Chains A and B, each alone.
Chain A
Amino acid sequence: ETGVTQSPTHLIKTRGQQVTLRCSSQSGHNTVSWYQQALGQGPQFIFQYYREEENGRGNFPPRFSGLQFPNYSSELNVNALELDDSALYLCASSLVPPDPGANYGYTFGSGTRLTVV
């Protein structure tokens, strides 16, 4: 079984630019989440996509947007980059079962290190 892969691994952008980060979910998973991890902090939830629709969002502005494709891969787009957007961006995938109260786990990728200068 394949894991979660993210690309690129490292990226440097200039303030005000736009960036797209990509994630390929683990085979068979139907949900993808994105997290931002600043240096020395725990990951912070950005949003989650379930069956190609956003179904949860953390405290991030609208310039953070995403897509989930039919093959369950995903993109995170950030517009108008700010210096504080410099962080490790993590993608996590999971298989959410039909039972609304059921438990499930997440598999994380190794992340994309974004530096905004």
Chain B
Amino acid sequence: DAKTTQPTSMDCAEGRAANLPCNHSTISGNEYVYWYRQIHSQGPQYIIHGLKNNETNEMASLIITEDRKSSTLILPHATLRDTAVYYCIVRRGGSQGNLIFGKGTKLSVKP
């Protein structure tokens, strides 16, 4: 079973920041937080990952709470092309750290 809890759906206005929450209260010390998204009829696309510290890349920012029990993915200026299902995943490193997906959050960016 997935080790994360996410809202089923969220809406965001185009140009505004989209903040997607994720709870992972049972995360272990050696597990990373990953975010992927899946646009309709495509394979999941990697967005960002982190262990303890906040992370930022060209796509998004990841804010992880100090106790690591929750995190927030931030898309700073959402566009219509960001409409997708967003998956928050925790996984351990090493060669056997496969991804366990939940149902994700359906983000709808509206004009």
Contact = CB atoms under 8 A, between A and B. Distances in A.
Interface of A: 4, 31, 33, 35, 40-45, 48, 50, 55-56, 58, 90, 92, 96, 99-111
A102 B96 contact: no
A98 to B, nearest CB: 9
B13 interface: no
A57 B62 CA distance: 29
A42 B45 contact: no
Interface of B: 2, 30, 32, 34, 41-46, 49, 51, 85, 87, 92-96, 98-104
A31 B95 CA distance: 8
Contacts of A104: 93
A114 B85 CA distance: 21
A48 B85 CA distance: 24
Contacts of A55: 95-96
B90 to A, nearest CB: 12
A55 B96 CA distance: 7
A5 B42 CA distance: 12
